[in-house]
């Protein structure tokens, strides 16, 4: 293998390969990026093991990866915001910019968005990649490219906590202590939440959360969401004002509704089954708002400021590191649930 542009390509369900691709050239408004770091997301693993996520079905070979950073190696025509050598974090979705959602400022809902590693669009787990310059964010010298890659999950949390309107003094429930649950904990804390409780069925995840500063945790052992909600209320002292559901599991979503105070808000971040049964009458009669959460919206600058200022430290989330040449091994580790965040370094060394 010449390794001109070594890439991690999923051909079909269960079929992941390391292959060489041509080096892409930047078009007008784009930059070519020599990739530095790419984190493995649960969606990458889900595509590989299931071949689809909801309506997104892998029908042709697709490069994986979307939690990414790199160094600008070429600049396309018309680009003035970046130059060769700039270290950047990559916001992986590029909207159309002209639909009603884009024009009204909600570009995350754009029906024509082109998003890395979402069929049929290639991701950026490669040596080289091209992307719209205006969705690349220059990193300050003291922010590492690993931290730059972690701006993607952190931006999910920034958007979710904004959707929940978490503020000073709030009591917050976060369901699921995986990477997204952890960055939501960090973000809620930075927004002034008074008490934050994390729930999970895995004690190891909760132990890791406590190492990151979680003061309140609950291992879910009951199959009855009402029982779990009562346990959460006992720990918090009262129902949660705001809840961020990060697991996508139906019982956890039901718990989130029961455990949220009347007049409160539940934001659904985790991706689970297409349809689930919910205690909707309970939510309706108590005016508990249930809100969706689609990726992020103008959140990268905020996430970058949080990291650059030291307000949030995402570095401890990285528990395992691999080289691009070891990507198949890295994905197998992710499939087994090893660690928290697996980071792949794409630099040729």
Question: Is residue 1's pLDDT more than 70?
Answer: no
| For range 183-201, the mean pLDDT | 98
Alpha-carbon torsion (109, 149, 313, 200), positive or negative: positive
Angle in degrees, 0-180, between the axes of helices 327-335 and 42-50, rounded to the nearest 10: 90
| For range 226-231, the mean pLDDT | 98
What pLDDT was estimated at residue 349? Answer: 76
What pLDDT was estimated at residue 316? Answer: 98
Q: What is the pLDDT of residues 95-104, one digit of tens each?
A: 999 999 999 9
According to CATH, where is 3.40.50.720 located in the chain? Answer: 156-291
Q: What is the pLDDT of residues 143-160, one digit of tens each?
A: 999 999 999 999 999 999
Residues 173 and 239: their CA atoms lie apart, in Å, by 9
| In CATH, 6-150+314-345 is 3.90.180.10 | yes
Domain 156-291: CATH superfamily, name plus number = NAD(P)-binding Rossmann-like Domain (3.40.50.720)
pLDDT, averaged across the chain: 97
Question: Is residue 204's pLDDT more than 70?
Answer: yes
Question: Is residue 55's pLDDT more than 90?
Answer: no
18 bridge partner residues: 8
Phi then psi for residue 113, to 5 deg, are: -60, 140
What pLDDT was estimated at residue 3? Answer: 82
| For range 229-253, the mean pLDDT | 98
State pTM to two decimals.
0.97
Q: Compute the C-alpha angle 311/205/307, nearest 5°.
A: 15
The share of the chain scoring above pLDDT 90, in percent, equals 97
- Side-chain half-sphere of 261: how many Cα atoms within 13 Å? 14
Both tokens of 134, joined, read 């205006």
Q: Distances in Å between the alpha carbon of 315 and those of 154, 307, 333? A: 11, 10, 19
């Amino acid at each position: 293998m010449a390794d001109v542009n070594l890439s991690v390509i999923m051909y079909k369900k269960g079929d992941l390969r390391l292959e060489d691709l041509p080096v892409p050239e930047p078009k007008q408004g784009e930059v070519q990026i020599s990739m530095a770091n790419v984190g493995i997301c649960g969606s990458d693993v889900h595509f590989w093991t299931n071949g689809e996520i909801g309506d997104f079905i892998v029908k042709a070979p697709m490069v994986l990866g979307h939690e990414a950073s790199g160094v600008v190696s070429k600049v396309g025509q018309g680009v003035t915001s970046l130059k060769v050598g700039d270290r950047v974090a990559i916001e992986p979705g590029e909207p159309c910019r002209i639909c009603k959602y884009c024009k009204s400022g909600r570009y995350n809902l754009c029906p024509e968005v082109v998003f890395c590693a979402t069929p049929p669009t290639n991701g950026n787990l490669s040596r080289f990649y091209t992307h719209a310059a205006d969705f690349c964010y220059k990193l300050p010298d003291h922010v590492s490219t690993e931290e730059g890659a972690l701006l993607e999950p952190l931006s999910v949390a920034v958007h979710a906590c904004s959707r929940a309107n978490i503020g000073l003094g709030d009591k917050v429930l976060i369901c699921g202590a995986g990477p997204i649950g952890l960055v939501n904990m960090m973000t809620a804390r930075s927004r002034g939440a008074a008490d934050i409780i994390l729930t999970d069925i895995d004690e190891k995840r909760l132990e890791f959360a406590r190492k990151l500063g979680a003061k309140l945790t609950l291992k879910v052992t009951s199959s009855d969401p009402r029982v779990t909600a009562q346990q959460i209320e006992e720990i918090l002292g009262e129902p949660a004002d705001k809840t961020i559901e990060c697991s996508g599991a139906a019982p956890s979503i039901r718990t989130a509704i029961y455990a949220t105070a009347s007049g409160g808000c539940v934001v659904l971040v985790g991706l689970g089954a297409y349809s689930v049964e919910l205690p909707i009458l309970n939510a309706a009669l108590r005016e508990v708002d249930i809100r969706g959460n689609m990726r992020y919206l103008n959140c990268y600058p905020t996430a970058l400021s949080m990291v650059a200022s030291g307000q949030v430290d995402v570095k401890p989330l990285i528990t395992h590191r691999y080289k691009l040449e070891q990507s198949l091994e890295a994905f197998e580790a992710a499939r087994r649930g090893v660690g928290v965040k697996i980071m792949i370094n794409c630099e040729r060394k």
